């Protein structure tokens, strides 16, 4: 569903008033428009075209440390981190930039990290027909670092393992070792 820019502007103006601010003062005059533009950008989901190529590669492909940001659906605050994505091709390889694009596609929604991890793994599995897919996400949540318990530096790690990475202990150990920071 597209972002209702005017609705975001009106809500931002109302929030400023509710916070005891004067939305007509110089520093805040354009804030509702800026906030609306920002949310349109944050939540702009583009379709991902997944290009694949026939290839006899049957070894693991790993892309580590893909930076991303998303927004917690519980507090509307950002969480940011790195994703590690691995797959074992099954006769088709995918352009590796598409792995990052799939991550971005799902991160550009109000999210929870657990769902994001699973959505990325499922989308890659569906797009590639891979023998196995692993997605590991490490993120810092500002809803935990800026408010509430206020624990900066705490990192949440989630994983989604599909196919051989789920079913085979040796493959799971290998992918987890390759995704660890060295």
CA distance 164 to 34: 46
Annotation marks residue 9 as catalytic: no
Annotation marks residue 75 as catalytic: yes
Catalytic residue among 9, 84, 111, 141: 141
CA distance 129 to 90: 6
Residue located via tokens 């530096």: 153
Catalytic residue among 41, 73, 114, 126: 73
Catalytic residue among 33, 140, 143, 174: 143
Annotation marks residue 73 as catalytic: yes
Catalytic residue among 111, 113, 119, 125: 113
Annotation marks residue 141 as catalytic: yes
Burial-class residue 25 by CB neighbours within 10 Å (0-12, 13-18, 19+): exposed
> What b/e readout covers 35-70, taking b as 16+ CB neighbours within 10 angstroms?
bbeebeebeeeeebebeeeeeeeeebbebeebebeb
Catalytic residue among 75, 105, 140, 166: 75
Catalytic residue among 74, 114, 126, 180: 74
Q: Tell me which residues are annotated as active site.
A: 72-75, 113, 141, 143
């Amino acid at each position: 569903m597209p972002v209702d820019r005017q609705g975001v502007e009106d809500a931002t103006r109302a929030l400023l008033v509710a916070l005891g601010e004067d939305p007509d003062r110089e520093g805040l005059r354009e804030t509702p428009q800026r906030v609306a533009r920002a949310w349109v950008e944050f939540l702009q989901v583009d379709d991902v075209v997944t290009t694949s190529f026939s290839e006899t590669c049957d070894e693991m492909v790993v892309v580590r440390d893909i930076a991303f940001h998303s927004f917690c659906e519980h507090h509307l605050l950002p969480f940011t981190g790195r994703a590690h994505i691995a797959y074992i091709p099954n006769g088709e390889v995918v352009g590796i930039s598409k792995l990052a694009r799939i991550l971005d596609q799902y991160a550009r929604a109000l999210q929870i990290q657990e769902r994001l991890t699973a959505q990325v793994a499922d989308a890659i599995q569906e797009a590639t027909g891979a023998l196995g897919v692993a997605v590991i996400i490490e993120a810092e949540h500002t809803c935990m670092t800026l408010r509430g318990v206020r624990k900066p530096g705490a990192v949440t790690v989630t994983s989604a393992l599909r196919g051989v990475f789920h079913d085979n202990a040796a493959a799971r150990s290998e992918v987890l070792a390759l995704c660890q920071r060295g």
